[in-house]
């Protein structure tokens, strides 16, 4: 996964609004600068990078919203979401096409022929999504949005002084960071129960989103705790990836299940057999990802990473060392407490 760019100039002990302005402006410009890469169709990583940047921007907006004056931001936030959706439409087709092409090279001939037809339909859908994206992220629109979003951010972060003391009401940036990371961590912890009910799709999907939000929050507020917090983002990213693969399997299972039923109703036996093969394949693959995600979470719990992360964020300040790859190829997080 693409790494977030560091936002320079943040003082975690200063009032939060100053850091919020730097982050939101920085994240927007990070997204905007990836426009040309996103429109290079020969390299699908370009649109992926801009999509991730748009997600980081929207995640930061979500994290900061309780501390902002919302008037004026809603219009810009809507436009940013439209951009993210357009990027997502292209990226989803890119991912689907790459996955189906790989599967087609490994599948039996009859299944491969069926997949090639599906791939062509996906390519047509991707072409339409690409045309929509070009119209959505024009240079002129992004330039105008940059100005209006910047103005909205400035307005949203105007500090409101207390009536009696005249001191700003806004918390310190590190207090905001602490609240957000702990909230995202608690959200992931609660949704981890979904791994014990693996046939219930929606909670697992929600857990993936929670993992993504925690990862983005850790990356966003890294400035406040330094390198010691980075390994936790890496661990969460691994979990997010597994849950993402699991979700993709759920989407394919639903799709090929419907196709199988439709083929059987039309008495198209060859087509039905091919769809049944695909359905069986993704059911087995899904089970593998369920087990991997379950093992990943068990590893998180065995290493007591929730407590270790809380200790850092809440001020326990253990020194966290990221161990080198073990003989099994798995990196681990180790701690040395500085408490006396």
What are the CA-CA distances from residue 150 to residues 5, 68, 97, 164 (Å)? Answer: 19, 14, 37, 31
At residue 164, the pLDDT reads 58
Half-sphere exposure (Cβ direction) of 274: Cα atoms closer than 13 Å: 21
pLDDT tens digits along 303-339? 999 999 999 999 844 333 333 333 333 334 433 333 3
Q: Is 26 helix (H, G, I), strand (E, B) or coil?
A: helix
The answer to whether 316 and 339 are in contact (CB under 8 A) is: yes
What is the percent of the chain where pLDDT is above 90? 81
316: enclosing H helix or E strand: none
Q: How many CB atoms lie within 10 A of CB 135?
A: 10
Task: Label the pairing between strands 333-336 and 319-322.
Answer: antiparallel
Residues 6+ apart with CB under 8 A from 260: 272, 275, 276, 279
The whole-number pLDDT of residue 169 equals: 62
Mean pLDDT score, 72-98: 95
Name the class of domain 171-334: mainly alpha
Instruction: Kindly state the helix (H) or strand (E) to which residue 334 belongs, with its residue range.
Output: strand 333-336
**Segments making up each domain of the chain, as ranges:** 12-157, 171-334
Structure pTM? 0.86
CATH architecture of 12-157: Alpha solenoid (1.40)
Domains 12-157 and 171-334 share a fold: yes
Question: What pLDDT is attached to residue 59?
Answer: 95
* Residue at token pair 């719990």: 301
pLDDT of residue 6: 80
């Amino acid at each position: 996964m693409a790494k977030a760019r560091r936002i320079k100039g943040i003082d975690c002990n200063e009032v939060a609004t100053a850091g919020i302005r730097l982050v939101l402006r920085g994240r927007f410009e990070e997204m905007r600068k990836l426009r040309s890469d996103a429109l290079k169709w020969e390299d699908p990583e370009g649109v992926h990078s801009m999509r991730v940047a748009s997600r980081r921007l929207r995640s930061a907006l979500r994290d900061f919203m309780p501390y902002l004056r919302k008037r004026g931001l809603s219009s810009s936030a809507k436009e940013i979401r439209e951009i993210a959706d357009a990027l997502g439409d292209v990226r989803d087709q890119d991912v689907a096409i790459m996955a189906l092409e790989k599967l087609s090279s490994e599948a039996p001939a009859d299944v491969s022929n069926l997949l090639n037809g599906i791939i062509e339909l996906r390519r047509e859908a991707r072409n339409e999504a690409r045309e929509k994206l070009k119209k959505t992220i024009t240079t002129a629109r992004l330039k105008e949005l940059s100005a209006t979003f910047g103005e909205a951010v400035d307005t949203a972060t105007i500090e409101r002084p207390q009536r009696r003391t005249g001191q700003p009401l806004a918390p310190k940036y590190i207090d905001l960071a602490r609240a957000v990371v702990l909230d995202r961590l608690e959200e992931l912890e609660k949704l981890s129960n979904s791994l014990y009910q693996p046939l219930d799709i929606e909670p697992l999907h929600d857990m993936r989103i929670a993992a993504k939000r925690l990862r983005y929050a850790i990356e966003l507020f890294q400035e406040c705790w330094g390198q010691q917090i980075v390994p936790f983002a890496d661990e969460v990213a691994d979990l997010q990836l597994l849950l993402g693969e699991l979700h993709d399997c759920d989407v394919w299972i639903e799709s090929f299940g419907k196709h199988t039923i439709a083929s059987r109703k039309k008495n198209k036996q060859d087509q039905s057999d091919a769809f049944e093969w695909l359905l069986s394949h993704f059911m087995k693959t899904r089970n593998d990802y369920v087990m991997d995600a379950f093992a990943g979470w068990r590893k998180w719990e065995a290493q007591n990473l929730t407590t270790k992360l809380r200790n850092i964020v809440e001020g326990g300040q253990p020194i966290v060392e990221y161990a080198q790859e073990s003989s099994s190829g798995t990196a681990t997080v180790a701690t040395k407490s500085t408490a006396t």
